[in-house]
């Protein structure tokens, strides 16, 4: 079962857009696949190597801006950004890691947060190149969502597969040893600085590619969207944590759950309250619906707090705990 589950999932994902023609659900699935890529990237540096990064948006935004600038200034197809975006993101990650990997734990997290802010400022101030707050607008290549869907799917499958291969190679074991005990790893002769750099660059490359995909798909970016701390960096952490820190399929589950939850809050429980208000005509529900759709970031924040308190290792990581909590009788059956 465990072996074929990913295969079944893949088949479902391949036939999904052929069965479900609704553009809104296709849009959501493209976002899910994009978050799978970002979450996998975050998982490599934070989940496996233990260097929690708050600055994923820096790589994401660099990738997106690379694609955007290529299309806008050089009139090259923005799809080239898929390749160059990842490389440019590595170009940001390399000096950053070189300087900041002398920091550990929370201090590294802070430094990455600073990187995020610096990148946003640069994108805002460097108007000749990035158009500043005006943003970059490009023409989409396809009218239908289906080509984007399959490109996103391919990228997601490749990145999950890539992480799987890396984590079962020698590098992967080095990463894990750094997470568990950096000093012990060092004393065993592992060049921790070097392997942390490798890990960060893998993460940056994947995230940068996702950023380029975002640019191609959305057709519009500005600094406050792609370098957003809450919408990108924190969301990436949530995808990683909700799904399961340090598990291959954690980001897949996490991306699915988080995009669903995000949409759930944004649309006011999928328009449940609005529908109810229209049905019953009660004033209270109309007001409630208005407030709930306003408060979606609040719901998001509360979710962060709850997830960290109750599910610190994510759905995949704490799966056993969830099953035990939900089906206490089942546990009894196993033990007897």
Partner 1 sequence: MEVFLQTLVAGILKGGLYGLIGMGMSLIMGVMGIINLAHGQLMMVGMYITFLLSHYLGIDPYLSLFVSMPALFLLGVAIQKYTLNPLMEVDSILPENQVLMTVGIGMVLTEITRFIFSSDYKSVQTSYSNATFFLGEISFSIALVIAFFIAILFTLFMFWFLLKTDVGRSIRATAQDKDAALLMGVNSKRITIITFGLGSALVAAAGTLLMPIYYLFPDIGGPFTRKAFVITILGGLGSTVGAIFGGITLGLAEAFGATYIGMAYDDMIGLIIFILVLLFLPGGFKRLTKI
Residues that bind partner 1 (CB under 8 A): 46-47, 50, 52, 54, 99-100, 102-103, 105-107, 109-111, 113-114, 117-118, 121, 125, 179, 229-230, 234, 237, 241, 245-246, 291, 294-295, 297-298, 300-302, 304-305, 308-309, 312-313, 317
For the bound state, the minimum distance from the C-beta of residue 212 to partner 1, rounded and expressed in Å, comes to 25
Euclidean distance between CA atoms 67 and 40, whole angstroms? 21
Which CB sits closer to partner 1, 146 or 225? 225
> Using the 8-state DSSP alphabet, how is residue 137 labeled?
E
Contacts 24+ apart (CB under 8 A), 25-31: 26/145, 26/146, 26/149, 27/145, 28/259, 28/260, 28/263, 29/149, 30/145, 30/148, 30/149, 30/152, 30/217, 31/259
Strand partners, 221: 136
Which CB sits closer to partner 1, 73 or 102? 102
Give the number of other CB atoms < 10 A from CB of residue 190.
17
Euclidean distance between CA atoms 309 and 321, whole angstroms? 14
Q: Write the DSSP string, 172-221.
A: HHHHHHHHH-HHHHHHTT--HHHHHHHHHHHHHHHHHHHHHHHHHHH-EE
Contact 135, 226 (CB under 8 A): no
Which CB sits closer to partner 1, 58 or 212? 58
- CA angle 313/318/323 to nearest 5° reads 160
Which CB sits closer to partner 1, 127 or 260? 127
For the bound state, the minimum distance from the C-beta of residue 61 to partner 1, rounded and expressed in Å, comes to 16
Which CB sits closer to partner 1, 87 or 229? 229
For the bound state, the minimum distance from the C-beta of residue 23 to partner 1, rounded and expressed in Å, comes to 30
Which CB sits closer to partner 1, 161 or 301? 301
Which CB sits closer to partner 1, 154 or 302? 302
Q: Which residue has the tokens 């990064």?
A: 53
- Among candidates 154, 150, 182, which has minimal Cα distance to 51? 182
For the bound state, the minimum distance from the C-beta of residue 82 to partner 1, rounded and expressed in Å, comes to 30
Which CB sits closer to partner 1, 231 or 263? 231
For the bound state, the minimum distance from the C-beta of residue 302 to partner 1, rounded and expressed in Å, comes to 6
For the bound state, the minimum distance from the C-beta of residue 52 to partner 1, rounded and expressed in Å, comes to 4
Strand partners, 220: 137
Q: Which two tokens stand for residue 240?
A: 């990683």
Burial class (CB in 10 A: 0-12, 13-18, 19+), 277: buried
Burial class (CB in 10 A: 0-12, 13-18, 19+), 255: buried
For the bound state, the minimum distance from the C-beta of residue 169 to partner 1, rounded and expressed in Å, comes to 20
For the bound state, the minimum distance from the C-beta of residue 32 to partner 1, rounded and expressed in Å, comes to 22
Which CB sits closer to partner 1, 148 or 300? 300
* Residue 17 CB contacts under 8 Å (≥ 6 apart), including other chains: 26, 29, 145, 146, 149, 150
For the bound state, the minimum distance from the C-beta of residue 147 to partner 1, rounded and expressed in Å, comes to 35
């Amino acid at each position: 079962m465990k072996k074929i589950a990913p295969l079944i999932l893949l088949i479902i994902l391949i036939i999904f857009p052929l069965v479900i023609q609704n553009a809104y659900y296709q849009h959501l699935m493209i976002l899910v696949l994009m978050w799978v890529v970002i979450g996998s990237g975050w998982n490599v540096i934070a989940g496996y190597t233990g260097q929690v990064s708050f600055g994923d948006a820096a790589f994401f935004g660099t990738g997106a801006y690379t694609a955007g600038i290529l299309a806008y200034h050089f009139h090259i197809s923005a799809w080239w950004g898929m390749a160059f975006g990842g490389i440019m993101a590595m170009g940001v990650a390399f000096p950053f890691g070189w300087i900041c990997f002398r920091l550990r734990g929370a201090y590294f997290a802070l430094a990455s947060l600073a990187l995020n802010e610096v990148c946003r400022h640069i994108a805002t101030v460097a108007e000749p190149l990035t158009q500043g707050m005006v943003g970059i607008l490009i023409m989409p290549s396809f009218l239908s969502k289906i080509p984007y869907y399959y490109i996103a799917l391919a990228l997601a499958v490749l990145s999950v597969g890539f992480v799987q291969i890396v984590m079962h190679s020698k590098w992967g074991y080095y990463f894990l040893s750094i997470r568990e005990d950096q000093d012990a790893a060092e004393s065993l002769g592992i060049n921790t600085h070097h392997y942390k750099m490798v890990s960060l660059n893998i993460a940056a490359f994947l995230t940068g590619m996702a950023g380029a995909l975002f640019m191609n798909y959305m057709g519009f970016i500005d600094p406050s969207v792609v370098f957003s701390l809450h919408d990108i960096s924190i969301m990436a952490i949530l995808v990683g944590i909700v799904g399961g820190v340090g598990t291959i399929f954690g980001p897949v589950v996490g991306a699915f759950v988080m995009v669903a939850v995000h949409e759930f809050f944004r649309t006011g429980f999928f328009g449940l309250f609005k529908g109810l208000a229209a049905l019953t005509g009660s004033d209270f529900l109309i007001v409630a619906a208005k407030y709930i759709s306003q408060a979606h970031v609040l719901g998001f924040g509360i979710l962060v707090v709850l997830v960290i308190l109750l599910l610190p290792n994510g759905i995949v990581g704490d799966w056993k705990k969830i099953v035990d909590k939900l089906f206490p009788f089942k546990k009894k059956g196993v033990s007897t």
